[in-house]
Amino acid sequence: MTDANAIFELPIRVYIEDTDAGGIVFHAKYLHYMERARTEWVRSQGVGLRAGLEDNISYVVQRMNLHYVVPARLDDQLLATAEPIASSRVWMTFRQQVLRAADRQLMCEAEVRVACIALDTGKPRRLPENMQSILNKSI
């Protein structure tokens, strides 16, 4: 388990499959990078995603505000960050960035609200106690 108050960073390399014909990262790939960072943040806190599925819990992006700053390019080494900044009984909000690792140049930033839902119905449900506890320590 990592320090819940630290900003989580996930290293990512830009591959050709991430880019357009000009070698610039396709805009939707930033969403993938951020999704991976949020998922790995959850894992780093000791929460098993598979166990959540078995308990009828899923998480969905409810809202996202995204700002592209500078394009990433083929072979860039990036850092995708995840930092929880707010929560309620049924959602959590993350501040996220994609940075170029070498100089920490901001490439893209977002605020992402993730809602907890019942997997079988798709209806909102309360965040599990362990997740609420982690968020209370983090925010």
Is residue 20 annotated as part of the catalytic site, yes or no?
Answer: yes
**Catalytic residue, candidates 20, 55, 76, 103:** 20
pTM for the structure as a whole: 0.92
Domain 8-138 belongs in CATH node 3.20.20.70? no
Query: For residue range 97-113, what is the model confidence (pLDDT) as tens digits?
Result: 999 999 999 999 999 99
Distances 37 to 41, 124, 137 between C-alpha atoms, Å? 6, 23, 19
The stretches of 45-76 forming alpha helices (DSSP H) are: 49-54
How many Cβ atoms from other residues are within 10 Å of residue 7's Cβ?
A: 15
- For the stretch 53-77, pLDDT in tens is 889 999 999 999 999 999 999 999 9
pLDDT in tens, 83-101: 999 999 999 999 999 999 9
Q: State the Cα–Cα distance between residues 125 and 102, nearest whole angstrom.
A: 41
**What's the pLDDT tens digit per position in 20-60?**
999 999 999 999 999 999 999 999 999 987 878 889 999 99
Every domain of the chain and the residues it spans: 8-138
